[in-house]
Structure 1
Amino acid sequence: MTAGPVGVALVGAGVISGQYLRNLTSFPDVRVLAVADLDAGRAAAVAREHGVPVSGTLADVLALPEVELVVNLTVPAAHAAVALESLRAGKHVYGEKPFAMNPAEGAAILAEAAARGLRTGGAPDTFLGAGLQSALHALRSGLIGEPVAVTAATQSLGPESWHPNPEFFYQPGGGPLFDLGPYYLTALVSLLGPVARVAASTRRARVERVVGSGPKAGATFPVDVPTHVNALLDFPGTATAAATFSFDSPVNRRMIEIIGTEGALSLPDPNTFEGPLLARGAHDTDWRELPVSGTTTSRGIGVLDLARSLRAGTPHRASGELAYHVLDLMTAIAEAGERGEFQAITSTTTAPEPLPDGWDPHAATLA
């Protein structure tokens, strides 16, 4: 078995790449060897900024034998193509969300990886942060009894006010369901297990939006996906959930509340890695804050867990199977909104085990 840090190439040098590179280059158990992008100049600039030795095209970085794991940060429409090309080059793949544009693409990625004995993983990895890991421990301890119901919501006016190139948020593979839904759905599946069926109602408030910042400020672009989604989810043998995903709300909300037979939990924003985590008993009149413990390092800890698990020969937590199940849920929610009826979920996954106590992303564990 190969020893030492895992060699990583990052593909896609857009806005999110900075967060990944700041973290990945600080983890001693991975070595970031290359950055690739369709824009060679952008790839070179990002590589220089973060001290990465090689930049170039996807083919360039896949040709490096030291690269074992590709971190795929391309736009959603390119996720499957880049993942499949990387797997065919013999590389493990961890991708940004969503896992693919549709379940057929996602299934092709999983099948290719299985045929080649390679691993796949996918964002979000926020469920590995201190806040949601502490929520998992609270649930497993029986603090609120058996889960009964969940209310979840992410509401805003959308990303076009701050993102200089927001068009892809409103194309297939985007919208509030596919952009923010992965954080909420991954958190819920990691806490409660896989979903058996879903129903939904969807709306599109406007057919055009306006870029609010950057060189294209004032330009209009079309909206091709629903921008307000209300979903119902059934977790077999446990809770039901009502979830709202909206880019149409002047009220900003980011919340998950789990009601149990003995109390309730209020979880932190699942797009973050920290607290607060709140609880109340069945007869309490107010919330109390619970201590949280674990890592608060941001995006990239799922990549690191994959790398460490690869060396140890153990399952990694932000797995392709988990990301595929979430993709299947989002697709089924969209279909339920169109058809006006429950959709059965045929995929499944295993809720990931908690990170071990003392898991430290900045400690060298791979000799």
Structure 2
Amino acid sequence: MDKVGIGIIGLGNISAAYFKAAKNFPILDIVAVADLNHELAKAKGAEYGVRAVPLEEIYEDPEVEIILNLTIPRAHVEVGLAAIGSGRHVYSEKPLGIDFTEAKRLIDAASYANLRVGCAPDTFLGGSHQAARALVDDGAIGAPVGGSATMVSPGHERWHPSPAFYYDHGGGPMLDMGPYYITDLVNLLGPVARVSGFAKTPRATRTITSEPLNGQEIEVKVPTHIAGMMEFKNGAVVQITMTFDVEGTRHPNIELWGTEGAMVVPDPNRFDGAPVLLPARGEWTEQTVTLPFADGNYRSLGLADMAHAIREGRPHRANGAMALHVLEVMEGIGRASDEGRVLEMTTTCDRPDPLSASRIDTGGDTT
């Protein structure tokens, strides 16, 4: 199968994971890189043996079919629209955008141009989450009734070298980590029908304790403790907590409850792990995972699936419709808190097909 040329815009920390993981997928050919900081682009290009080009030129590069958008969240829609405007498909890091209305412009523009939008996270395609999906589909927990999704952290100022953006507009725990949890829940349960929630900001400032900015104060401009409820179209009701204000928890990342059992789902920020199943009148048992992409960090898997889908003329899984729906859910929980009401979702999406429904070429593995 002909390779798909990839041009990367944005060469921050996450780019290293993409460069490394892309080597697992022969269909991906990273041909050019660009960044607002052209010196950084040249350094990364030299490190990975890829052409570094000026930012304005990468959109017109004849070898580039997909723009891989690894910029900061505030720039995701702007860069995506530029890619679509140049006739390129775009695959973005999460979230799709920081504003639902603006992100919808991107999806509408791509639809009009008959181009594709893809978006991380793609961890739901990992073997552990595909195994959890198969258990749900096979009726291992019966009809889904509810569940919980919990991400607890005391704050990124303890470890991140420059954490201020996590507390600025477009940051916060929901936009930062919510995409992993809600995308995985959509994979497991389908789309969300309506949401409610509460969003709080317990502290107006944060003190950085990591280097090199140890002691510097950060103004907190976004809610840092969010508790929401999501009613899925299949009837399941899942509670979600995303916080930068709590020291720790014993709650699992995701737990699903059904009429015939319960299941702990592995960390949705990872590809590996194993579901733990409690069948009716049984005992908790860790499941054996034999599906691929459960033994490492494959943060290019969604991009590779999109590239295969372009060549095969089929839908890709980590797609724009799902990312837009997840963004509406996240934004909706905050709006529900502000407005004191339950909000109906205006978007929907299909559950992505199980990965076993098509091949992702890794030089021999068939999924």
> What interval of TM-score do these two structures reach, taking the shorter chain for normalisation?
over 0.9
Pick from 15, 28, 36: which aligns with 2:13?
Answer: 15
Letter in 1 for 2:45: A
The answer (yes or no) to whether the contact 2:166–2:172 under 8 Å persists in 1 is: yes
Larger CA deviation: 335-344 vs 251-260: 251-260
Deviation at 1:310, TM superposition (A): 0.4
Hey, what's the Cα distance between the residues in 1 that align with 2:364 and 2:52?
A: 26
Written as runs of structure 1 = structure 2, the 5 A alignment for 1:45-194 is 45-52=43-50, 54-194=51-191
Letter in 1 for 2:81: L
Deviation at 1:61, TM superposition (A): 1.3
Deviation at 1:290, TM superposition (A): 0.7
The answer (yes or no) to whether the contact 2:98–2:175 under 8 Å persists in 1 is: no
The equivalent residue for 1:344 is 344
User: Which runs of 5 or more structure 1 residues have no equivalent in the other structure?
Assistant: none
The equivalent residue for 1:333 is 333
Letter in 1 for 2:309: S
Deviation at 1:294, TM superposition (A): 2.2
The answer (yes or no) to whether the contact 1:129–1:273 under 8 Å persists in 2 is: yes
Hey, what's the Cα distance between the residues in 2 that align with 1:77 and 1:191?
A: 29
Normalising by structure 1, we get a TM-score of 0.95
Hey, what's the Cα distance between the residues in 2 that align with 1:167 and 1:256?
A: 28
Pick from 265, 268, 271: which aligns with 1:267?
Answer: 265
Letter in 1 for 2:215: G
Normalising by structure 2, we get a TM-score of 0.95
Hey, what's the Cα distance between the residues in 2 that align with 1:201 and 1:361?
A: 44
Secondary structure of 2:42's aligned partner: helix
Larger CA deviation: 168-177 vs 116-125: 168-177
Secondary structure of 1:7's aligned partner: strand
The equivalent residue for 1:198 is 195
The equivalent residue for 1:362 is 362
The answer (yes or no) to whether the contact 2:252–2:264 under 8 Å persists in 1 is: no
Hey, what's the Cα distance between the residues in 2 that align with 1:69 and 1:106?
A: 18
Deviation at 1:364, TM superposition (A): 7.1
Deviation at 1:359, TM superposition (A): 4.5
Hey, what's the Cα distance between the residues in 1 that align with 2:217 and 2:48?
A: 34
Letter in 1 for 2:288: P
Hey, what's the Cα distance between the residues in 1 that align with 2:54 and 2:100?
A: 27
Deviation at 1:210, TM superposition (A): 2.4
Letter in 1 for 2:22: L
Hey, what's the Cα distance between the residues in 2 that align with 1:193 and 1:27?
A: 28
The Cα offsets for residues 191-236 of structure 1, whole Å up to 9 and x where unpaired, read as 1111010000111121111233333232222111110110000012
Aligned residues with identical type, % of pairs? 40
Hey, what's the Cα distance between the residues in 2 that align with 1:110 and 1:130?
A: 29
Deviation at 1:162, TM superposition (A): 1.7
Verify: 1:245 aligned to 2:242, yes or no.
yes
Hey, what's the Cα distance between the residues in 2 that align with 1:125 and 1:63?
A: 27
Hey, what's the Cα distance between the residues in 2 that align with 1:55 and 1:328?
A: 35
The Cα offsets for residues 81-107 of structure 1, whole Å up to 9 and x where unpaired, read as 100001111110000111012111111
The equivalent residue for 1:302 is 302
The answer (yes or no) to whether the contact 1:146–1:238 under 8 Å persists in 2 is: no
Hey, what's the Cα distance between the residues in 2 that align with 1:311 and 1:360?
A: 12
The answer (yes or no) to whether the contact 1:164–1:212 under 8 Å persists in 2 is: no
User: Which runs of 5 or more structure 2 residues have no equivalent in the other structure?
Assistant: none
The equivalent residue for 1:257 is 255
Pick from 275, 278, 294: which aligns with 2:276?
Answer: 278
Distance 1:315 1:360, change over 3 A: closer
Letter in 1 for 2:146: A
The equivalent residue for 1:35 is 33
The Cα offsets for residues 275-316 of structure 1, whole Å up to 9 and x where unpaired, read as 1210012223x4101111221342110000000000000000
Deviation at 1:57, TM superposition (A): 3.0
Hey, what's the Cα distance between the residues in 2 that align with 1:84 and 1:199?
A: 31
Hey, what's the Cα distance between the residues in 2 that align with 1:221 and 1:5?
A: 45
The Cα offsets for residues 247-268 of structure 1, whole Å up to 9 and x where unpaired, read as 1010056511101111001000
Hey, what's the Cα distance between the residues in 2 that align with 1:33 and 1:180?
A: 30
Hey, what's the Cα distance between the residues in 1 that align with 2:93 and 2:252?
A: 21
Hey, what's the Cα distance between the residues in 2 that align with 1:146 and 1:254?
A: 21
The Cα offsets for residues 344-363 of structure 1, whole Å up to 9 and x where unpaired, read as 10100001000127955522
Distance 1:162 1:302, change over 3 A: same
Distance 1:35 1:25, change over 3 A: farther
